[in-house]
Amino acid sequence: MISSIKNFKMEVNEDFIKKAEILKPILHESINYPQNIVKINKTQNDYEVIKLKKASNISEFSMGKGDSIYLDFGDHNVGYLSFKIKSVGSPPDAPAHIKIKLGEHPCEIVEESSSYNGAISSSWIQEEFLHIDVLPTEISMPRRYAFRYVEINVLDTSPKYKIVIESIYCKSVTSGDRKLVDNIKCNDKELEEIDKIALKTMEDCMQYVFEDGPKRDRRLWLGDLRLQALTNYATFKNYDLVKRCLYLFAGVTQNEKRVGACIFTEPKISVDDTTLLDYSLFFITSLYDYYIETKDKDTLIDLWKTAYHQIELAEINIDENGLLKDSEEWWCFIDWQENLNKQASCQAILIYVLKQAIFISNELEDKLHKNKLTLLLNKVIEGAKNYLWDSQKKFFVSGSKKQISWASQVWFVLANILSKEENKSLLERLKKENPKINMVTPYMNHYYVEALIQCNMMEEAKEYIKYYWGGMVKLGADCFWELFDPNNIYVSPYGSRIINSYCHAWSCTPSYIIRKYYTN
Ligand code: RAM
């Protein structure tokens, strides 16, 4: 469970919020129609969607009590659904009562919503019940949905009439301008396909902020932002949107000016009461990446104080041995792997971030902070080498039970405290020994790919992208998912995969990796 900060209060920096709001993007709109009327069958592996007719034939179907029609829009959409509906038969002598279900993945349509009893709210399930008193009519549904599939189910009309859907469309919205992004050529069809889907994932998550997922949680999360921003630099190049998000995080902070894990933009800009140490630290990484890409020194100067302060807050959790204290609480994210101990990964992230902070302090000629940061960096590297490196097993261990996980090794490779050769053999050993505490999010898998690339294991990184993101493509993904474990398609930290998000920002990074490293 995600825990909240105690005695939460929000601090607002009006100047930063103003700067962020000036950068609020205009959304591009497009009208999209369903492609096919389909049926969805259960198969041995999962579901298959079978075309019955072209969706332009929809008005041929008259539906009475208990009838359903299933539509496939042919691609993922984020937007507003409108439809025209009329009656056939006798004059309608009772309201029409219909259910509309929308899904990014067939499982959301087929599996009963009432069966969901998971850890987060069932209100994320995209299912609406409408009473329609007057027919014919045109209905524009007020909520924004993220979907590819729609089921319209007639709960009741009356014995004397049926309904017909005359037309249906989605007004889709995004702040990403696809015209600005070139297609890639990399002489590898599989990578080109993966890039296309990653780009679509990115596009659909680009709204008034970089959302984590347009179905759920529809918010700006820091860990997600970091990866979206990197991918954005290689694709849409919407620097203003990144800048806006950075100012939002600095504009509304938590107790002690801590950067929160996520931000709400409605009804007004506010920070959530969730706090995650790794996410707070990634404010520095996101600022660092933004500066490397744009050389926008004014923003760097403006936001450096907030960024530096995140290190001061992290430092409180470091003990006399230079180790981040471990905690049973939900204090740090890293991955949705249920049994993961996060101490080692978070220690490595602190090292990774400290190096970026030192770079910034150097750039700003901030000698005082540079010296403090350097001392702290040496202390936490020493701590890691003395207490987290198991020289017998040749793995980094985490927590009191000295857990060996994929995440801890990956983050320590990225923290880069061993020699080049040692890092490489650590990754080789990791693959060979395959500890059972694996990685379940594309977010964590992204960092694994980054670690491979850092060790110049270019072929392995490419093959892994094909194995992991390509695995979702094989299962029919049109956008990349929040969770994916190739060995368990039902994986979900929430108790059911129908609540998982199937267009999730942190999965869009193949476009960044492929475009940066694998195109000519
Ligand atoms: C989930 C979302 C989001 C992520 C957080 C930690 O609620 O999927 O993307 O950043 O967890």
Q: What is the pLDDT of residues 77-98, one digit of tens each?
A: 999 999 999 999 999 999 999 9
pLDDT greater than 60 at residue 1: no
Q: What is the pLDDT of residues 426-462, one digit of tens each?
A: 999 999 999 999 999 999 999 999 999 999 999 999 9
Q: What is the pLDDT of residues 461-498, one digit of tens each?
A: 999 999 999 999 999 999 999 999 999 999 999 999 99
CATH number for the domain harbouring residue 46? 2.60.120.260
Nearest-angstrom CA–CA distance, 72 and 148: 6
User: 236 and 352 share a domain?
Assistant: yes
User: 329 and 419 share a domain?
Assistant: yes
Strand 96-103 versus strand 145-156 pairing type:
antiparallel
Mean pLDDT along residues 389-418 = 98
* Domain range enclosing 71: 29-174
CATH number for the domain harbouring residue 428? 1.50.10.10
pLDDT greater than 80 at residue 55: yes
Using alpha carbons, select from 501, 507, 506 the residue that is nearest to residue 214.
Answer: 501
User: 202 and 284 share a domain?
Assistant: yes
User: 475 and 498 share a domain?
Assistant: yes
Lowest average pLDDT, out of 4-8, 134-138, 318-322, 444-448, goes to 4-8
User: 311 and 357 share a domain?
Assistant: yes
pLDDT at 2: 61
Choosing from 174, 199, 230, the residue where a domain stops is 174
Note the residue count of the chain: 520
User: 139 and 102 share a domain?
Assistant: yes
User: 16 and 75 share a domain?
Assistant: no
pLDDT at 31: 98
Using alpha carbons, select from 288, 286, 338 the residue that is nearest to residue 444.
Answer: 338
Q: Which of 2, 221, 446 to mutate to test the pocket of ligand 1 (most atoms within 8 A of CB)?
A: 221
pLDDT greater than 90 at residue 398: yes
User: 43 and 120 share a domain?
Assistant: yes
pTM above 0.85, yes or no: yes
Q: What is the 3-state secondary structure (H, E, C) of 220-271?
A: EEHHHHHHHHHHHHHCCCCHHHHHHHHHHHHHEEEHHHECCCEEECCCCCEE
pLDDT at 3: 66
pLDDT greater than 60 at residue 185: yes
How many distinct structural domains can be found in the chain?
2
User: 345 and 206 share a domain?
Assistant: yes
Q: Which of 201, 212, 337, 504 to mutate to test the pocket of ligand 1 (most atoms within 8 A of CB)?
A: 212
Protein residue with its CA nearest to atom 5 in ligand 1? 221
User: 428 and 447 share a domain?
Assistant: yes
User: 267 and 368 share a domain?
Assistant: yes
Protein residue with its CA nearest to atom 1 in ligand 1? 217
